[in-house]
Structure 1
């Protein structure tokens, strides 16, 4: 089976890092619970959102993200049984290419670099399954779309959903 896996909010905890940055930089006290079912940018002044976007565009933001719990262990086992590709949207933030690639090499060295796909629209992917936190990426995907739970997609329905990497493992148990 060929499995494509998103990076941000699936392998890397980008939201926690964004919240920490906003809270430190601007004195916000935002928590994950505050942004359930909504876009982070709805909770901050426009100028703070603009500065956060600039930080993301610069790309270094992606260099030191925390790894999602159990993702390394489970993905390693999946990669032993299946064709696993990392498919990360990088077109919106071109400065993220290098930091994302180095992050993946550091935390997921068992994924061959030839199986890392930087893309914009994930409908071009040819895989049996796509694990992603963003519903629009799953909408055009022709295989099985699996929604990885994140606060922003809490109210989304219509897809198989997993809330952690142990659930991913159970889903693909051979």
Structure 2
């Protein structure tokens, strides 16, 4: 029987931090370097932090977001050997539901609609592994959680950390050997 993995979208397979930077520059003419975000809560490094929340409520924001480097290839590879679920706590921004689904259909068409979980809380997820960038989603997870590095979580310790998709796939394959 295949082991199962829950994979978060934002800051794991979707480059939301880079997308914030792009939209901020497009909206205000100010380009922040990604290094300015390191160690700060999401959005707080921007001169107008409230704009980030507005982006999250703007039609088109989620649909236009780029993939994380190596994410598509890694998820495709993992889907051959694991039962892969894409799990996103998307209920806070309800307009994101259709956009995230469309994004998945465009970038990860090999993931069945049956393997997509949009929820409010990830506490109900019961896979063998979970890859997420937020500790709030990992701290209640009963099995092996992997903290995917994002600017906002660089100082967090106490979790198994993966910095990129190469490290994530290496860890997962080693864990099932």
Report if aligned partners of 1:132, 1:146 keep a CA contact under 8 Å in 2.
yes
Which residue matches 1:118?
Answer: 118
- After TM superposition, list the pairs within 5 Å mapping 1:109-148 onto structure 2: 109-148=109-148
Shift of the 69–102 alpha-carbon distance from structure 1 to 2, 3 Å rule, reads same
Q: Distance in 2 between matches of 1:73 and 1:40?
A: 27
From 6, 10, 13, the equivalent of 2:12 is 10
Greater percentage in helix:
1
Q: Distance in 1 between matches of 2:27 and 2:171?
A: 39
Structure 1 unmatched runs, 5+: none
- After TM superposition, list the pairs within 5 Å mapping 1:59-78 onto structure 2: 59-78=59-78
Report if aligned partners of 2:43, 2:52 keep a CA contact under 8 Å in 1.
no
Report if aligned partners of 1:147, 1:159 keep a CA contact under 8 Å in 2.
yes
User: Do structure 1's residue 32 and structure 2's residue 34 form an aligned pair?
Assistant: yes
Task: State the Cα deviation string for residues 90-143 of structure 1 (Å, max 9, x = none).
Answer: 011100000100100111111111100001111110111100011111111111
Q: Distance in 2 between matches of 1:77 and 1:29?
A: 35
Report if aligned partners of 1:7, 1:86 keep a CA contact under 8 Å in 2.
yes
Q: Distance in 2 between matches of 1:50 and 1:36?
A: 18
TM-score (norm 2): 0.92
User: Do structure 1's residue 19 and structure 2's residue 18 form an aligned pair?
Assistant: no
Report if aligned partners of 2:32, 2:46 keep a CA contact under 8 Å in 1.
no
TM-score (norm 1): 0.93
Q: Distance in 2 between matches of 1:58 and 1:27?
A: 18
